[in-house]
Amino acid sequence: MSDAAFLDLAGLSLGYDGRPAVEALDLSIKEGELVALLGPSGCGKTTTMRAVAGLLQPMGGRITLGGRDITRVPANRRNIGLVFQSYALFPHLSVFENVAFGLRRQRTPKDEIERRVAEAVAMVGLTGFEKRLPKELSGGQQQRVALARAVVVRPRLLLLDEPLSNLDARLRLEMRTELRRLQRELGITMVYVTHDQEEALALADRIVVMRDGKIEQMGPPEAIYETPATDFVARFVGFENVFQVKDGQLRAGNGAALPLQAPVDGGTAWLAWRPHAVELGQGPYEGQVLGTSYLGQSVEYLIESTVGPIKAEAPAALPRHEAGRTVAFGLPPATAAAIPR
Ligand SMILES: Nc1ncnc2c1ncn2[C@@H]1O[C@H](COP(=O)(O)OP(=O)(O)OP(=O)(O)O)[C@@H](O)[C@H]1O
């Protein structure tokens, strides 16, 4: 991976009919890097990808690829591979011909086409399906053909927008691993859109969390998962219990407060606990168990407290706290993520 920016978005502003969707976005991606754009529905992930692909003209800013300004270059001259949810296969072409399409256009020799298509089709687990037409495949199989078709030409940049969304859990995991292997092996730079934090954590070298058309935080998966920079990112990566810290108290959105269990660093604006970090059955606070969910290894509890709902998780082997009961709990700052803003 070279350190120079390979794909550079500078002050990129995007919108529809003059209505802004992405505002002055700055993002630099290195060659060979796999960057995940993560964020809730409507935060501007797809809009950003469409602009990079050349399918949406920016309202402002610049897109540079491999040192060349491509802001005004038409989509078909950008040499960028796309796997978009809506990117349909050629309906009249077989799986083989769909995958071979780009190679034929590049006038690749026939035996090499055979070899590379076979390899790509095997990668997506569709060996034996080469003669089928897209309409004879399931949604997930079509998605896999689209992936093979994009990868086979070995683009320098590949944009993937929720490419595994139609697959079942096991296949998703397999494809994820395979995609990562291929990406490393071929050194393809990838931008991967997902709203699934687990997928982003598993795949990416770097995660960019977006909110309302802006970057909220970016960093390696471990940093996003363990040290969220804002309460929004914390909630998004599974800290279900996020409280503002003010005057030595934990504050809920409704203004209710609890005294802090232990003092915290003065720069802490928020404290956030994952459900398993809530101490259940002991501690200075009390709440009523509203409901329980059995998750196999553990049990999840929803507790109503004076600072609102608390989500806790405890090993299933421990005695249960039944719904309706009052239970003690602790929120030790030592097991929380301390959030500066
Ligand atoms: N074709 C369009 N015309 C008008 N507004 C649009 C269009 N496409 C998207 N938008 C708006 O732009 C904003 C960003 O949408 P975008 O599709 O980029 O979000 P997203 O993060 O990809 O969401 P999702 O995860 O649901 O795909 C949203 O407010 C959306 O309503």
Q: CA-to-CA distance for 170 and 195, rounded, in angstroms?
A: 18
Nearest atom of ligand 1 to the alpha carbon of 47: 18
Q: What distance in angstroms lies between residue 214's CA and the mean position of ligand 1's atoms?
A: 13
Q: Which residues contact 223 (CB under 8 A, 6 or more apart)?
A: none
Dihedral through CA 101, CA 107, CA 108, CA 113, nearest 10? Answer: 30
Ligand 1 neighbours, Cβ below 6 Å, are: 16, 21, 39, 41-47, 195
Binned at pLDDT 50, 70 and 90, residue 1 comes out as: low
Atom 18 (ligand 1) nearest CA: 44
The closest-lying atom of ligand 1 relative to the alpha carbon of residue 193 is: 22
Cα(199) to centroid(ligand 1), Å: 21
Residue nearest atom 17 of ligand 1, based on CA coordinates: 46
**Model confidence at 341: pLDDT above 90:** no
Measured in Å, residue 21 CA sits from the centre of ligand 1 at: 7
Q: Give the residue among 36, 252, 224 at the shortest CA–CA distance from 232.
A: 224
Residue-wise pLDDT tens digits, 116-174: 999 999 988 899 999 999 999 988 888 889 989 998 988 889 999 998 887 888 888 88
Ligand 1 mutation target, pool 25, 46, 50, 209, most atoms within 8 A of CB: 46
Given ligand 1 and candidates 22, 45, 48, which is best to mutate, with the most ligand atoms within 8 Å of its CB? 45
Alpha carbons 9 and 71: distance in angstroms, whole number: 10
Q: Which residue owns the Cα nearest ligand 1 atom 29?
A: 42
Provide the pLDDT for residue 84: 84
Token pair for 108: 């690749």
Where are the extended beta strands (E) located within the chain? Answer: 5-16, 19-30, 34-38, 60-65, 68-69, 80-83, 157-161, 189-194, 206-211, 214-219, 241-246, 249-251, 257-259, 270-273, 279-294, 298-305, 308-315, 326-330, 337-339
Q: Whose CA is nearest to atom 3 of ligand 1?
A: 16
Average pLDDT over every residue of 319-323: 92
pLDDT digits (tens, 9 = 90+) for 191-244: 999 989 999 999 999 999 999 999 999 999 999 999 999 999 999 999 999 999
**Span 30-46, average pLDDT:** 94
CA-to-CA distance for 268 and 97, rounded, in angstroms? 58
For the full predicted model, state whether its pTM sits above 0.95.
no
Mutational pocket test of ligand 1: of 16, 57, 215, the residue with most ligand atoms within 8 Å of the beta carbon = 16
Dihedral sign for Cα atoms in the order 96, 101, 107, 108: negative
pLDDT, tens digit, 9 for 90 and up, residues 76-100: 888 899 888 766 799 999 999 999 9
Distance 272 CA to ligand 1 centre (A): 29
57-66, 176-185, 266-275, 286-295: lowest mean pLDDT where?
A: 176-185
What letter would DSSP give residue 85?
Answer: T
pLDDT for position 36: 97
